[in-house]
């Protein structure tokens, strides 16, 4: 557990665009510099028809711990705390000065980018949804396939000023049924890098945060997804029974 998220928590304000109650907070501890974090209280979760009530914040923590177990430093430190101002919930380290440059809508696909889908603007101009072809985005696409992320929007893919990739917003994950929705379909059918594939050899279902967040059927489905990824060695495609792209894209 990250010690810099264990201090006293003060609420700075509510995120204006989040569908659930999401708060920017400041964490202070002794003489250490204050740390900003995103706080998602269970009490502020809007019920979803296909997910258990009051479990989304725990899935945020489980996703972080799965990424950490896989050696992927792409999810900001995320912990569970019971002693927060509005009740139990998740705390995730805030990414300062983040940019959103890895996904775009263009009229021509540039070199070094992957095509996702074609569309039209309101005036009839043909455009394409694209994302960059980068190793860290391939790692993120694999993580999303493992956790069955149902909401990988472009706005959840951040770059800090140093260029490090950070992925956020992982409440809608780990469903037992195929729910993968993402803007990173450009890797579909391509071989997963051998180093990434080798990371899937560990048992993710027994991680404490996973056991706290998921029921037996969801943990079994997690094991099955990992087994299929290891056996097939390629990035999966969308389910024909579920929308492939989250909306809005950003």
Q: pLDDT tens digits for 120-170?
A: 999 999 999 999 999 999 999 999 999 999 999 999 999 999 999 999 999
The mean per-residue pLDDT over the stretch 168-188 comes to 97
The pTM score is 0.96
Alpha helices (H) in 90-149, listed in sequence order: 135-147
- Residue 112 in any domain: the answer is no
Residue 42, CA atoms < 13 Å, CB-side half-sphere: 16
Q: Which domain holds residue 176?
A: 3-100+129-232
What's the CATH code of the domain at 176?
Answer: 1.10.510
User: Mean pLDDT of all residues in the chain?
Assistant: 95
Smallest CA-to-CA distance from 174 within 150, 190, 153 is with: 150
Confidence of residue 3 (pLDDT cuts 50, 70, 90): confident
Chain segment 193-216, per-residue pLDDT in tens? 999 999 999 999 999 999 999 999
Rounded mean pLDDT of 208-227? 98
Domain tally, the chain: 1
Structure tokens at 115: 């095509």
- Is 165 among the domain residues? yes
Length, in residues, of the chain: 250
Query: How is residue 13 written in tokens?
Result: 């304000």
Query: Is there a domain that residue 240 lies in?
Result: no
Within-domain flag for 18: yes
The answer to whether position 244 is within a domain reads no
- 76 lies in some domain: yes
194 belongs to a structural domain: yes
Give the C-alpha separation, 145 to 168, whole Å: 15
Residue 249 resides in a domain? no
Q: In angstroms, how far is CA 128 from the centroid of its own chain?
A: 23
pLDDT in the model for residue 2: 62
Mean pLDDT over residues 10-28, rounded? 92
pLDDT tens across 69-78, in order? 999 999 999 9
């Amino acid at each position: 557990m990250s010690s810099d998220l264990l201090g006293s928590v003060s609420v700075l304000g509510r995120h204006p665009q989040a569908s659930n109650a999401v708060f920017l907070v400041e964490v202070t501890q002794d003489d250490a510099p204050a740390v900003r974090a995103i706080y998602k209280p269970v009490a502020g979760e809007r019920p979803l028809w296909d997910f258990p009530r009051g479990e989304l914040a725990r899935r945020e923590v489980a996703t972080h711990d799965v990424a950490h177990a896989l050696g992927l430093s792409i999810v900001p430190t995320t912990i569970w705390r019971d002693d927060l101002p509005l009740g139990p919930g998740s705390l995730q380290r805030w990414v300062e000065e983040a940019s959103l440059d890895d996904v775009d809508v263009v009229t021509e696909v540039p070199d070094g980018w992957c095509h996702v889908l074609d569309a039209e603007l309101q005036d009839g101009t043909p455009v394409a949804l694209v994302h960059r072809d980068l190793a860290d985005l391939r790692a993120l696409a694999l993580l999303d396939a493992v956790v069955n992320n149902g909401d990988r929007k472009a706005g959840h893919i951040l770059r800090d000023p140093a260029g490090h990739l950070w992925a956020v917003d992982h409440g809608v994950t780990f469903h037992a049924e195929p729910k993968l929705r993402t803007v990173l379909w450009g890797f579909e059918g391509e071989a997963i890098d051998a180093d990434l594939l080798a990371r899937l050899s560990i048992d993710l279902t027994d991680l404490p945060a996973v056991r706290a967040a998921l029921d037996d059927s969801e943990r079994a489905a997690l094991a099955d997804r990992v087994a299929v990824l290891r056996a097939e060695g390629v990035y999966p495609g969308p389910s024909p029974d579920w929308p492939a792209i989250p909306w809005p894209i950003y």
